[in-house]
């Protein structure tokens, strides 16, 4: 059976934005083994794209997705199945994931894809679930999913699910991917990982208190390509690791400055320039489409 075209009648396209962790502290460990974190998520105006088409037969069919990730392991597919069960719908969906966010980069690609599927199919299927309900559903898929569902840059605590929205100043970033995939589970198991950083507060973060990523020393030691990315970026500003992945970023004064710097990146590395946003492009699109629906009624 031939897969449907990724655009055309019945298909809709939705953004799945990347994120940066402006810092990431591990402040403890729960009895169940999960790590207690503090971080700030800054959502970006760049990321993946999810194309969806409702089906009447109840099937969830992925037509394209991340290379090397089977459909049953794809968070976008799992999110659709979880929402289908939660709202008791007989509808299904065709799903096409246009990947731009590298795997294992710490930019939230899989989590954002899942969140976009939850938010978009909630509308397309007419489930009517509130964002808080979708965020709770997303938490079962991954700790980063709720921030993408809620659609606001935020100070996060717990395992990343306790979110306080933050109004962050607009900021351009140059993000460098050194071409390596960092498995999160391996880092969390590492005995040398710092797990007892004193807790900070939102006011301390906003006042410019020095913050760091607990995974950075470990990733720099284990992945020489990441260390080289830091060495290249550090003369141009305060470079940071994002999440538990391999992407390294630095604030830049403008998009033009970022692109100019990206042109000189070392061989074997990719780079992109993105703006940090307080509000997700996904929610901006959702609001536009709901407004169009209201104007047509």
- pLDDT of 1 > 50? The answer is no
Could you tell me which residues come within 8 angstroms of residue 99 by beta carbon, excluding any fewer than 6 positions away? 48, 65, 66, 67, 109
- pLDDT of 6 > 60? The answer is no
Known binding residue 142? Answer is no
C-alpha 146/C-alpha 46 separation (Å) is 18
Segment 184-195, tens digit of pLDDT:
889 999 999 989
Q: What is the pLDDT of residue 32?
A: 86
Average pLDDT, the chain: 93
Segment 124-171, tens digit of pLDDT:
999 999 999 999 999 999 999 999 999 999 999 999 889 999 999 889
Q: pLDDT confidence of 297, banded at 50, 70, 90?
A: low
3-state secondary structure (DSSP) of residue 232: helix
Of 18, 97, 120, the residue nearest 51 (C-alpha)? 97
Segment 53-77, tens digit of pLDDT:
999 999 999 998 788 888 999 999 9
Instruction: Provide the 10 A C-beta neighbour count for residue 90.
Output: 10
What DSSP letter does each residue of 136-195 carry, written as one string? HHHHTT-TTHHHHHHTB-EEEETTTTEEEE--PPPEEEEEEE-S----HHHHHH-TTS--
Distance of CA 223 to the CA centre of its chain: 22
Known binding residue 193? Answer is no
What burial letters (b/e) apply to 182-218, b meaning 16+ CB within 10 Å?
beeeebbeeeeeeeebeebeeeebeeeeebebbbbeb
Distances in Å between the Cα of 288 and the Cα atoms of 14, 206, 295 are 12, 31, 11
Strand 154-157 versus strand 35-55 pairing type: antiparallel
Known binding residue 106? Answer is yes
Catalytic residue among 19, 94, 99, 113: 19
- 100: its two tokens: 């731009």
Known binding residue 291? Answer is no
- pLDDT of 120 > 80? The answer is yes
- 22: its two tokens: 């402006």
Segments making up each domain of the chain, as ranges: 9-297
19 is catalytic: yes
Known binding residue 70? Answer is no
User: Partners of 20 in the beta sheet?
Assistant: 42
Q: Under a CB-based contact definition with an 8 Å cutoff, are residues 18 and 44 in contact?
A: yes
C-alpha 179/C-alpha 225 separation (Å) is 7
Number of H helices, E strands in the chain: 10, 10
Q: pLDDT confidence of 7, banded at 50, 70, 90?
A: low
Which CATH fold would you assign to the domain 9-297?
Answer: Ribosomal Protein S5; domain 2 (3.30.230)
57 is catalytic: no
Catalytic residue among 74, 94, 113, 144: 144
Segment 71-101, tens digit of pLDDT:
999 999 999 999 999 999 999 999 999 999 9
């Amino acid at each position: 059976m031939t897969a449907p075209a990724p655009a055309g009648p019945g298909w809709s396209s939705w953004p799945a934005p990347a994120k940066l962790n402006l810092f990431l502290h591990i402040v403890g460990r729960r009895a169940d083994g999960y790590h207690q974190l503090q971080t700030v998520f800054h959502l970006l105006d760049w990321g993946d794209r999810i194309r969806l088409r409702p089906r009447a037969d109840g099937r969830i069919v992925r037509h394209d997705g991340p290379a090397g990730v089977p459909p049953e392991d794809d968070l976008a597919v799992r999110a659709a199945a979880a929402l289908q069960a939660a709202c008791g719908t007989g509808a299904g969906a065709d799903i096409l994931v246009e990947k731009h966010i590298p795997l294992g980069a710490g930019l939230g690609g899989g989590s954002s894809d899942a969140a976009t599927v939850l938010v978009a199919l909630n509308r397309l299927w007419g489930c009517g679930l509130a964002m808080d309900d979708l965020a709770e559903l997303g938490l079962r898929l991954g700790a980063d999913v709720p921030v993408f569902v809620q659609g606001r840059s935020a100070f996060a605590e717990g395992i990343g699910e306790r979110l306080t929205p933050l109004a962050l100043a607009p900021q351009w970033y140059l993000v460098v991917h050194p071409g390596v995939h960092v498995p999160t589970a391996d880092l969390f198991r590492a005995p040398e990982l710092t797990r007892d950083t004193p807790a900070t507060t939102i006011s301390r973060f906003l006042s410019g208190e020095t913050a760091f990523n607990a995974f950075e020393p470990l990733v720099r030691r284990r992945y020489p390509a990441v260390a080289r990315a830091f060495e290249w970026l550090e003369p141009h500003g305060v470079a940071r690791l994002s999440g538990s992945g391999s992407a390294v970023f630095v604030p830049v004064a403008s998009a033009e400055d970022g692109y100019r710097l990206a042109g000189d990146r070392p061989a074997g590395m990719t780079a992109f320039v993105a703006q940090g946003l307080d509000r997700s492009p996904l929610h901006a699109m959702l609001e536009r489409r709901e407004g169009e629906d209201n104007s047509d009624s």
